[in-house]
Chain A
């Protein structure tokens, strides 16, 4: 019976949101450090091939072994992290800026413009995100910039919807009416009064979408639509390892773990932020 009634247990007082944020930030700090200082940390040149050092096992010289071209897996993972993180941050930032701006304008303006933009957004959402990503990258052609644009397009609807619904709700408030009576310009109302109100929610969506962007980037790289070779990408490393799965499973396992660590770090931060912002979630 008590399981149904008791609103709060002892453990909950540890504020799970805060623990998650601290753990997530710590993981991401290590990951970002490793990516930024990859040229210094990496024990080997990630592109240097050596026919004499093919498929080496884990050793003091090659921390995570070598691949079919004798390239050092650990060094390649570090450089892959660079691409993954840069693509994820850049595409999420692009989607956040565009989605929020268009969403707020659309919601604040209302009327026919809002209906048309929303319809276009719904249309975008009626394609599976992964399939849209695959097709957009394939159409745009290979390259990191195109990859960033493609992932940003798939992430756009999340920010658009969030910002639009916030603007729709806020524009009916008295203080916004007051701003209008005072003769403030629309731009001033949006930038000074609407945007700050929605920022908390948008940042939470952004952290959660960072994880999705990492997932999309590595998935596209796995399919062969990521940053073009010889660049090392985490998804591409898994793909290469997958081709040798029966003989050298490590080649697929290590980059997989790297992706998982990044995903867990980002999800912890996003989750924690959401909990910290929504008292009901933990109550």
Chain B
């Protein structure tokens, strides 16, 4: 097992390397000199030269790249061009909020989607199946910001159940933190639920046709036990795969959710960095996002091994 984990982690290295290079290139192909954008059109040549000196932009590109990599290996993402704060500090400050939101979103999505899919598969063409089908089609059709705005309007403004400005509460206020998380997480989960329900339904239909289910049925195992115990275990594999693949969509949706609910997080940081043209912060955020997705993909693979002992290598 340890060997498998080790091997999987080793395969991460080339991917991460490529991602880091892309982040480096991406930020440098931006048209325009960041010095002019930050210092303004009126900047004197001396000021521009000084800025280039400070940010390392005066060095040849390969030296910049080497410096970027050596800094990264030491866990240093550089300092913000605008505020001079270390980028890593800014990222780590808000990362817990984004992680918390994403995980809660996955939880809501799976907790609602799986039962919905199972019920639909059991109904198979009946009216429950139709209802789930239409319901999930609706779920698939909501861009995350539309559902977020409508949820905010209904549950916070009209009904007043949740705070209108759900900005992150400190951990010392667990109830406040939960209340400010509930609506944004439901928003992420609502869209995900639709996909999970469909994956579960499709998987369930396939599994229910297999021989071991027929055997179980022949033995007289009650139908609900067959579905919820024997079949569901196999379907969950598909759900795990899907969750891994979906994670990058979920992260994208979390950007929109953070904006609407005014939550701190990576998404808000990206928008802020873009508005202020803070390229070093942007570069650090691109790295953070890519690392997040790559790590989650690796975790999904590891998850397989735990859910299904048959998966080897």
Partner-B contacts on A (CB < 8 A): 1, 3-12, 16, 119, 122-123, 125-131, 133-135, 138-139, 141, 211, 214-215, 218-219, 222-223, 235, 238, 241-242, 245-246, 249, 252-253, 256, 259-260, 263-264, 267-268, 271, 280-283
A-B pairs with the 9 shortest C-beta distances? A130-B252, A12-B125, A9-B125, A263-B141, A128-B248, A128-B251, A128-B252, A215-B143, A3-B122
B45: min CB distance to chain A, Å:
26
B105: min CB distance to chain A, Å:
13
Known pairs A135-B26, A252-B153; A223 contacts B256 (CB<8 A): yes
A264 contact from B127, B141, B270, Cβ within 8 A: B141
Q: Could you show 22 A-B contacts with beta carbons less than 8 Å apart?
A: A1-B217, A4-B217, A8-B124, A123-B18, A127-B248, A127-B289, A128-B252, A128-B289, A130-B253, A130-B256, A131-B270, A131-B289, A135-B270, A218-B143, A218-B145, A222-B259, A223-B256, A223-B271, A235-B143, A249-B157, A259-B146, A281-B202
B130 at the interface (CB under 8 A from A): yes
Within 8 A of A (CB), among B83-142: 122-127, 129-130, 133, 137-138, 140-142
Q: What 0/1 pattern do residues 258 to 301 of B give for CB contact below 8 A with A?
A: 01100000000011001000000010001001100110010000
Complex contact B293–A9 (CB within 8 A):
no
Q: What 0/1 pattern do residues 73 to 86 of B give for CB contact below 8 A with A?
A: 00000000000000
Distance between Cα atoms of A167 and B37 in the complex (Å): 47
Known pairs A123-B19, A264-B138; A128 contacts B226 (CB<8 A): no
Distance between Cα atoms of A12 and B209 in the complex (Å): 18
A204: min CB distance to chain B, Å:
15
B141 contact from A16, A127, A211, A238, Cβ within 8 A: A211
Complex contact A264–B124 (CB within 8 A):
no
A69: min CB distance to chain B, Å:
20
Q: Which of B144, B217, B226, B252 has the most chain A CB within a 10 Å cutoff?
A: B252
Identify the closest chain A residue to B293 (Cβ).
A126
Complex contact A222–B251 (CB within 8 A):
no
| Chain B positions within 8 Å of A16 at CB level | 130, 133
B303 at the interface (CB under 8 A from A): no
Distance between Cα atoms of A264 and B127 in the complex (Å): 20
Complex contact B270–A134 (CB within 8 A):
yes
Within 8 A of A (CB), among B228-272: 248-249, 251-253, 255-256, 259-260, 270-271
| Chain B positions within 8 Å of A219 at CB level | 143-145, 256
Partner-A contacts on B (CB < 8 A): 15, 18-19, 22, 26, 29-31, 122-127, 129-130, 133, 137-138, 140-146, 149-150, 152-153, 157, 164, 202, 205, 208, 213, 217, 223, 226-227, 248-249, 251-253, 255-256, 259-260, 270-271, 274, 282, 286, 289-290, 293-294, 297
Identify the closest chain A residue to B250 (Cβ).
A128
Interface of B, secondary structure class, is helix
A238 contact from B129, B138, B145, Cβ within 8 A: B145
| Chain A positions within 8 Å of B22 at CB level | 123
B49: min CB distance to chain A, Å:
25
Complex contact B293–A127 (CB within 8 A):
yes
Complex contact A260–B142 (CB within 8 A):
yes
Known pairs A135-B282, A256-B146, A263-B141; A249 contacts B271 (CB<8 A): no
Complex contact A235–B145 (CB within 8 A):
yes
| Chain B positions within 8 Å of A242 at CB level | 149, 260
A185: min CB distance to chain B, Å:
35
B124 contact from A3, A122, A134, Cβ within 8 A: A3
New A-B pairs, 6, CB < 8 Å, besides A126-B294, A222-B256: A126-B290, A127-B290, A128-B248, A128-B289, A131-B252, A281-B202
| Chain A positions within 8 Å of B217 at CB level | 1, 4-5
Complex contact B274–A246 (CB within 8 A):
no
Known pairs A219-B144, A245-B153, A245-B157; A131 contacts B208 (CB<8 A): no
Distance between Cα atoms of A122 and B22 in the complex (Å): 12
